[in-house]
Chain A
Amino acid sequence: MSLELTSDDLEMLNGRDGEAVSMAMRIIVRLAETVKAENLIDITGAHIDSCLYHGLSTIDFADRLVQLGAKVKVPTTLNVSSMDLLHPDLYRGDPEESEKGRQLADLYEAMGCKATWTCAPYLLEERPNFGEQIVWAESNAIVFANSVLGARTDRYGDLIDICAAITGRTPAAGLHLDENRYASCVYEVEKLPPSLLDRDEIFPLLGAFIGSTTGTQVPVINGLKANQPEHRLRALGAAAASTGSVGIFHAVGSTPEAPTLTAALGEREPLNSINVSVENLQEMRSKLTSATGTDLGTVALGTPHYSIEEFSILRSLVSGKKKHPNIDFYVSAGRDVLLELELRGWADELRSFGVSLVGDTCTYFSPILSNTSDPAMTDSGKWAYYAPNNLGVEVIYSSTSDCVASAIEGKVILDESIWTHE
């Protein structure tokens, strides 16, 4: 079957709605032909990653659309920028790059995108409902939308995201379709000690393991306690989407398309079944830690952008304490969550511990860290995976509580007890 366009699609392509819609439609149609889609579908929302500056071509592309009169057709949010747009003084990179980042931000806002500047659009007030067809770019947001919300987005990236927002259409392909959402690879965790599975820091490790072993198959995790909290599921998904190309996972009893293992598998036999061992998780732990010794310069949390739930955990850990003067302590979050922190009075409590709150961007790629010569510690599998290459910094992955304890002592402190208890 070849691509079949509706008369509306054809009119958009032929310029009925202006040159920008026509250009966006040309790109969507070429993509649809490439992925052998049979038709296009309507979308109800978009999340844009193209707003991150990668060079002059990113500005050329947005500027061309704006010049041609582009306006988004569906509610559209913006992913992180290359800088903290509200606190540009935190940016330590080239001032010219920062100016370009600002210019790109203005172009996307001019097209009618909401200035959300977060990689966690699912924390915003209007999150997509189960079954909604959306176009989201940014790997952690994609995996969260598909897995935890049961909304439907393929693994989109730059350029196509804004084209879909402008036309309200996208190819019917990939994770938009039922048959591509069923699991085919089972990860059994039943044999892992329950004490391990009760710790937040295990979830990014499990995600990292799944990402590095599942390939293009859809994974389902069997054996977790039901109704896992969102922050664990999203940390798992973010890590899986970093070490691999996971766009959806299921967790039996916790994610909406996996009420049972059979349902998650679409009532088919799995192609693969993997018993996850403690050694598998320890191996991921070593993979996400490049530093040896106890030297520490930085703690970086908030990748993906911290939620109120995670700030509440952090708040209880830092309450009444102060970090060591030699350690920089950053937490990244979306501007909506940061505003909520101010309103609740939590921001002042965090600042009195010594937290620097970073908005709109993220510390794993933006030049924000003032110290990259000493190792950095994080509770994020994604940060630990990307930062060494992006920033040239050595990294230690551990729990949020180890991160706080280490920041107070001024050196790396790891609670090894969870790995030694049976």
Chain B
Amino acid sequence: MISGPILHLEEPLSFWGGLDPATGVITDIHHPQVEVCVTGKILVMEHGRGSSSSSSVVLELIRNKAGPVAIILLEMDTHIVLGSIAAEELYGLLMPIIVVSRDILESLHTGDIVNIDPKNELVSFS
């Protein structure tokens, strides 16, 4: 079971150039949540902002143990999911990517604690 506090991003984030993979801190000066740290959080955003380097940055975040524990999206983002697949392949580290409906996405507020079961389905809120 994966558990963590929600960090709901107000705008999509480009992992490349927008986040420091060593620390997990958002560095994009144009992002409303600049300087917020994603480490250990369940990151919620509508979609990624696909830079082709995002997969590598996600992989590096996971290697550094600076990443979120899971990412919840409205639309699947292949760049993000590949970073997660490669981390499992290389290091055996898991960071599930979950796609949910808009209703569920909008019900997830920063600070809520959410549990995720091993089949990557959102199970409970508290």
Contact = CB atoms under 8 A, between A and B. Distances in A.
A50 interface: yes
B82 A55 contact: no
A365 B52 CA distance: 14
Contacts of B17: 365, 386, 389-390
Interface string B7-28: 0000000001110011000011
A389 B27 CA distance: 8
A36 to B, nearest CB: 9
A99 to B, nearest CB: 17
Contacts of A35: 76, 78
Given A35-B78, A61-B90, A56 B60 contact: yes
A60 B89 CA distance: 11
**Residue among B49, B52, B78 facing the most chain A CB atoms (10 A cut-off):** B52
Interface in A271-295: none
Interface stretch (A22-30, A180-188, A397-405): A22-30
Contact of B89 (A23, A138, A139, A156): A23
What is the interface residue range for chain A against chain B? 35 or more
Contacts of B39: none
Given A31-B82, A60-B90, A159-B86, A55 B64 contact: yes
B90 A64 contact: yes
B70 interface: no
B34 to A, nearest CB: 10
Contacts of A56: 60, 63
A155 B50 contact: yes
Nearest to B55: A158
A55 B51 contact: no
Interface string B64-95: 10000000000110110111011101110000
Interface in A357-382: 365
A157 B28 contact: no
B71 to A, nearest CB: 13
B55 to A, nearest CB: 4
Contact of B82 (A26, A27, A154, A386): A27
B101 to A, nearest CB: 17
B52 A54 contact: no
Interface in A141-184: 142, 154-160
Which A-B residue pairs are the 3 nearest by beta carbons? A55-B60, A157-B52, A158-B56
14 contacts: A31-B85, A35-B76, A54-B21, A55-B22, A157-B54, A157-B56, A157-B79, A158-B54, A158-B82, A159-B56, A245-B49, A365-B17, A388-B29, A390-B17
Given A158-B52, A389-B27, 20 more contacts: A26-B89, A31-B78, A31-B82, A34-B76, A50-B56, A54-B16, A54-B53, A55-B22, A55-B60, A57-B63, A57-B86, A64-B90, A139-B52, A157-B50, A157-B51, A158-B59, A216-B75, A386-B17, A389-B17, A390-B17
